A and B are shown apart, each in its own frame.
Chain A
Amino acid sequence: MTFLWQWLGDPANWVGPDGIWVRIGEHLVYSAITLVLAAALAIPLGLWVGHTGKARRLVVNVANGARALPTLGLLFLAVLVAGPLLPGDLAFAVPAILVLVILAIPPILAGAYAGVEAVDRQAVDAARGMGMVGHQVLLNVELPCALPLMLGGLRSAALQVIATATLAASVSLGGLGRFLIDGQAYRDYGQMAGGAVLVAALAMVVDVVFVGFQRLVVSPGLTSSVVTRRGLREHLSTN
C-alpha cells in the first residue's frame, strides 16, 4: 500500500490541468449536472404520482426496471448512437450525462412518491378541512412532510452517480475515473488505488454535506419530537 501514499503524497499529482483538483472539479460538475436534470424530471413526477396515486404501478415498474439496465452498456450504446450527431467534446459528454440521469432517476422518483405517500393522512385531512385545495395541500403540507424521504432518495442517487461517473473516463472524458483507467493502462497501481480512494472519499464528503443540508431544510417538527417520529414509523410499517 506504500505506492498509494506515495502517489497521494506527491504534490505534483495534485496540481496542473490533469491534476487531482481538476479531476475532482470535473467529477463534481458531471455529478451536479446529472442530479439537477434527474431531480427536475423525477421530483415533479414523483410528487404527482404520490399526490394523485395515478399511474403508480406503471411508474414503479418502469423505475425498478431501469435499475436493471447495465450502465456500462448503456453508456457505450449512447456514445456510439448519439456521439456522431454531436460536435466536439459534447459527443461524449452528452451521452454520458444522459446515462447518469437514467441511473439517478429511479431512487429520486422512489423517494418523492414514497415521501408523499407516507405523509400522515390526518395532516392532509386537516389541511383540506382548513380549506386548502389540491395544489396548496401538495406544496404546503405534503411537500414539507415528504422532505426527509425525498432527500433520502436524492442522497442515494448522488452516491450512485458519484460512484458511476468514474465510467465516464472509459469514453475519454475526465473526472476521477481517469486515474483508474490511465493507471490501469500504465500498470500504475499507485494511481489506480489513489483514484479509487479519492472517489470513495468524495462520495463520503458529499454524503455528509447532504446530511447537513437535510438537517437544515427539514422542519424541526418532523425530526425533533420522538412522538412524531414514532408516529411516522408506525404509519410506514402498517402500510
Chain B
Amino acid sequence: MTWALNHVEDIGGLLASHAVLAAVPLLIGLLLAIPVGWLAHQQHWLRTPLVVGTGLLYTIPSLAMFIVMPLVLGTGILDPLNVVVALSIYTVALLVRTVADGLDAVPAQALDAATAMGIGTPRRFFTVELPLAVPVIAAGLRVAAVSNVSIVSVAALLGIPQLGSLFTDGFQRNFIDPIVVGIIACLILALVFDSLIGLFSRWLTPWLRPGSAT
C-alpha cells in the first residue's frame, strides 16, 4: 500500500470530486421528487403513471445515460454536468415512489388535527405532512445515496475524473493497488453519506427518539 501513501493528494482530490458528483444530484433529485411524489400521493389516477414512469428511468444503464447526456444537453462528453443531470434523474426515479409512500403513511388523524387547528393546506404540508414523512423519505434517500456513489464511478469510462479513475488507471496498467484503494474509498464515502442522512433524519424527527414524550 505504499502506492496509496505516495498518492494521498491525488486520491483526496478524486474523493472530493466523487463526493460532489454524488451529493449534488442527491439534493437536486430530492427537491424534484418531493413535488412529483406529492402529486402522485394527492391525485390517485396520476400515481401509477408517475411512479411507474419515473421508475422506468432507472432501467437505463448508467453508461448509456452518461453517453446520451451530451446529445440531449449539448454539453461536451467530459462535462461533469452530464454526470450531475444523469444521477439527478436516477435519484428522482428512486425517490418519487418513496415520497408518495411516505406521504401516504402520514396518519389521517394528524392531518385532521392540523386542519381543526386552522392550519391551511400549504402550511400543513410543510409543517405536518412532510416532517412526518421524513423517516420513509430518509430511508429512500439512503438507498439513492449509496447507489449514486457506485454509479458515479462508471463515468470514469468516459474520462470524467473521480474515484472511478483509479479503476480505469489500475486496469490499464494491470496494477491492483489503485483499484483496491478506489473500492475502499467508495465504500467509506457511501458509509459517510448513509450515516449523515441517518443523523439528519434523527435530528428532524425528535419525537421518534427513545425517551421523548409520546
**Chain A contacts to B: CB under 8 angstroms:** 1, 64-65, 67-74, 76-77, 79-81, 159, 162-164, 166-167, 170-171, 177, 180-181, 183-184, 189, 192-193, 195-197, 199-200, 203-204, 207, 237
Contacts and interface: CB of A to CB of B under 8 A. Distances in A.
Nearest to B145: A68
Interface of B: 56, 58-65, 67-68, 71, 105, 143, 146-147, 149-150, 153-154, 156-158, 163-164, 166-168, 170-171, 174, 176, 179-180, 182-183, 186-187, 190-191, 194
Contacts of A200: 59-61, 64
Contacts of A237: 105
A202 to B, nearest CB: 9
B186 A68 contact: yes
A68 B61 contact: no
Contacts of B62: 163
Nearest to B104: A237
Nearest to B166: A73
B156 A196 contact: no
Contacts of B190: 68
B149 A76 contact: no
Most chain-A CB neighbours within 10 Å: which of B59, B183, B194? B59
A164 B61 contact: yes
A77 B176 contact: yes
Contacts of B56: 204
Nearest to A192: B67
Given A77-B176, A166-B61, A199-B61, A70 B67 contact: no
30 contacts: A68-B150, A68-B187, A68-B191, A70-B149, A70-B163, A70-B167, A73-B153, A73-B167, A74-B183, A76-B170, A76-B171, A76-B179, A77-B176, A77-B180, A77-B183, A159-B58, A163-B59, A163-B61, A164-B61, A167-B154, A180-B63, A184-B157, A192-B64, A196-B60, A196-B63, A196-B68, A199-B61, A200-B64, A204-B59, A237-B105
Nearest to A74: B183
B1 to A, nearest CB: 15
B58 A73 contact: no
Given A68-B186, A70-B164, A73-B164, A163 B147 contact: no
A196 B60 CA distance: 7
Contacts of B174: 80
Contacts of B171: 76, 79-80, 171
A149 B197 CA distance: 27
Q: Choose among A193, A197, A200 the residue with the greatest number of B CB atoms under 10 Å from its CB.
A: A200
Nearest to A199: B61
Nearest to B182: A73
B191 A72 contact: no
B61 A193 contact: no
Contacts of A74: 183
A4 B63 CA distance: 17
A9 B182 CA distance: 41
The CB with the most chain B CB atoms within 10 A, among A73, A170, A207, is that of A73
Q: Which 6 pairs across A and B sit closest by C-beta, in order of nearness?
A: A196-B64, A68-B190, A203-B59, A76-B171, A163-B61, A70-B153
Contact of A67 (B61, B105, B147, B176): B147
Contact of A68 (B149, B157, B167, B176): B149
Nearest to B188: A68
Contacts of A204: 56, 59
A181 B187 CA distance: 26
Nearest to B171: A76
B64 A166 contact: yes
B60 A73 contact: no
A60 to B, nearest CB: 13
A233 to B, nearest CB: 10
Given A73-B186, A180-B61, 9 more contacts: A68-B150, A69-B186, A71-B150, A177-B63, A180-B64, A192-B68, A195-B64, A200-B59, A204-B56
Nearest to A65: B187
Nearest to B143: A67
